[in-house]
């Protein structure tokens, strides 16, 4: 549905986006990750046709957004950053206005507004002026605008920004549901959101894609991924670490903390974490350790994110 090829954007001498290529198919939810100023919003603005790209091509459902903007824009629902809306209008007035711009009239318009209001829980504030709304409601009003025409493509720039935890949960659920039938791109700073909602994630840094894969794939890139952690209610750190080190396939061992004693075993290359986990379980039984936890680390997205997007100089410093 969404095809982006070699996308570039220069603002004067500054390059905001530098050669981004990706596609999103129907039924996919693509998470856009990246530090502030990485080029996420700029990319989304180009996809939705607000700003023209300096180079490269974007096609929405087969329509080029620059050459043939109207049919392409018809397919898109867009929630811009900071969720703008006309503050002098009522929620209902605003939604009717956007529905009309989407070409909906009469009964279809009424139904579309009703549906969007229901999905975004806006019934209580329908006739209130946008100006008087809290940030969460304003945000949802703009979100309702983006789904009013039941678009095939949704572009959401930080859809959960400024919402309380309950609202965040609702919006995530909504995105996941809609993601089954639509092609969705959304950007976020919150990494747990990516794991909860996305079928695929892209990490952007300084205008380039630095990682692209399922959240699981990305987590596997973490240093911790595949390590086995064993936790004991009580015990001597050095003794336990020495015994764990002798298990086949273990490369090195670190003690994470005493009381409860937690020890992490990193596997050698090409050796399976599951085997180590099994061996450690047997070891614990044999030694009579008071076992509290034993699990294989999945890896952590924030660690991957940091290691990829931290500038090289800082990386050295932190080492």
Partner 1 sequence: MSNILTIAKRELRGYFASPIAYVVIVVFLLLSGICTFKFGRLFSNGQADLYWFFFWHPFLYLLLCPALSMRMWSDERRMGTMELLLTMPITPWQAIIGKFLATWLIVGISLLLTFPIWITINYLGNADNGVIVASYIGSFLMAGLYVAVGAMTSAITRNQVVSFVVSLVILLLLVMCGWPTVTDLFVSWAPPPLLDAIAGCSIWTHFESIQKGVLDSRDILYFVSVMAFCLFTTSTIIRAHRAG
Contacts of partner 1 in 276-295 (CB under 8 A): none
Query: Cβ of residue 108: shortest distance to partner 1, in angstroms?
Result: 14
Under the binding rule (CB under 8 A), the answer on residue 142 touching partner 1 is yes
The total of other beta-carbon atoms located within 10 Å of residue 42's CB is 21
Q: CB-wise, 2 or 304, nearer to partner 1?
A: 2
Under the binding rule (CB under 8 A), the answer on residue 100 touching partner 1 is yes
Cβ-based neighbours of 71, under 8 Å, separated by 6 or more: 61, 63
Q: CB-wise, 103 or 272, nearer to partner 1?
A: 103
What region does 228 belong to: left with phi over 0, alpha with psi -120 to 50, or beta? beta
Cβ-based neighbours of 20, under 8 Å, separated by 6 or more: 4, 6, 7, 8, 39, 43, 56, 204, 207, 208, 209
Under the binding rule (CB under 8 A), the answer on residue 136 touching partner 1 is no
**Secondary structure of residue 165 in the 3-state scheme:** helix
Query: Cβ of residue 82: shortest distance to partner 1, in angstroms?
Result: 6
Contacts of partner 1 in 76-95 (CB under 8 A): 76, 78, 80-82, 84-89, 93
**Secondary structure of residue 274 in the 3-state scheme:** helix
Number of residues that bind partner 1 (CB under 8 A): 36
The total of other beta-carbon atoms located within 10 Å of residue 17's CB is 26
In degrees, to the nearest 5, what angle opens at C-alpha 115 toward C-alphas 109 and 121?
A: 130
Under the binding rule (CB under 8 A), the answer on residue 98 touching partner 1 is yes
Find out whether 258 and 306 touch, Cβ atoms under 8 Å. Answer: no
Under the binding rule (CB under 8 A), the answer on residue 187 touching partner 1 is no
Query: Cβ of residue 87: shortest distance to partner 1, in angstroms?
Result: 7
β pairing state of 200-205 and 228-232: unpaired
Under the binding rule (CB under 8 A), the answer on residue 8 touching partner 1 is no
Under the binding rule (CB under 8 A), the answer on residue 309 touching partner 1 is no
Q: Which stretch binds partner 1 (CB under 8 A): 10-18, 252-260, 271-279, 283-291?
A: 10-18
The total of other beta-carbon atoms located within 10 Å of residue 209's CB is 20
Query: Cβ of residue 25: shortest distance to partner 1, in angstroms?
Result: 22
Under the binding rule (CB under 8 A), the answer on residue 45 touching partner 1 is yes
Under the binding rule (CB under 8 A), the answer on residue 102 touching partner 1 is yes
Give the residues lining the site for partner 1 (CB under 8 A).
9-12, 45, 48-52, 69-71, 73-74, 76, 78, 80-82, 84-89, 93, 97-98, 100-103, 129, 142, 145
């Amino acid at each position: 549905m969404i095809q982006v090829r070699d996308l570039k954007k220069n603002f004067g001498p500054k390059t905001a986006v530098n050669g981004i290529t990706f596609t999103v198919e129907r039924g996919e939810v693509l998470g856009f990750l990246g530090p502030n100023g990485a080029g996420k919003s700029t990319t989304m603005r180009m996809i939705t046709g607000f700003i023209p790209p300096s180079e490269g091509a974007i096609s929405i459902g087969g329509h080029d957004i620059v050459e043939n903007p109207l049919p392409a824009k018809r397919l898109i629902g867009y929630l811009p950053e900071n969720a703008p809306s006309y503050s002098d209008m009522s929620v209902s007035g605003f939604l009717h206005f956007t529905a009309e711009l989407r070409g909906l009239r009469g009964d279809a318009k009424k139904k579309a507004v009703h549906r969007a209001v229901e999905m975004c829980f806006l019934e209580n504030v329908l006739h209130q002026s946008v100006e008087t709304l809290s940030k969460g409601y304003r945000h949802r009003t703009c979100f309702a605008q983006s789904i009013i025409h039941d678009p095939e493509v949704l572009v959401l720039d930080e859809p959960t920004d400024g919402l309380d935890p309950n609202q965040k949960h609702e919006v995530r659920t909504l995105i996941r549901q809609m993601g089954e039938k639509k092609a969705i791109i959304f950007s976020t700073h919150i990494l747990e959101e990516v794991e909860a909602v996305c079928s695929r994630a892209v990490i952007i840094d300084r205008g380039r894609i630095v990682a692209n894969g399922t959240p699981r794939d990305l987590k596997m890139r973490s240093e911790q991924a595949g390590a086995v952690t064993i936790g004991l209610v009580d015990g001597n750190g050095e003794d336990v670490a020495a015994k764990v080190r002798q298990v086949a396939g273990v490369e090195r061992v670190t003690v994470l903390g005493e009381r409860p004693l937690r020890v992490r075993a990193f596997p050698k290359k090409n050796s399976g974490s599951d085997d180590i986990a099994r061996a450690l379980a047997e070891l614990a039984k044999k030694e009579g350790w008071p076992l509290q936890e034993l699990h294989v680390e999945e890896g952590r997205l924030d660690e991957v994110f940091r290691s990829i997007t931290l500038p090289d100089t800082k990386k050295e410093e932190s080492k």
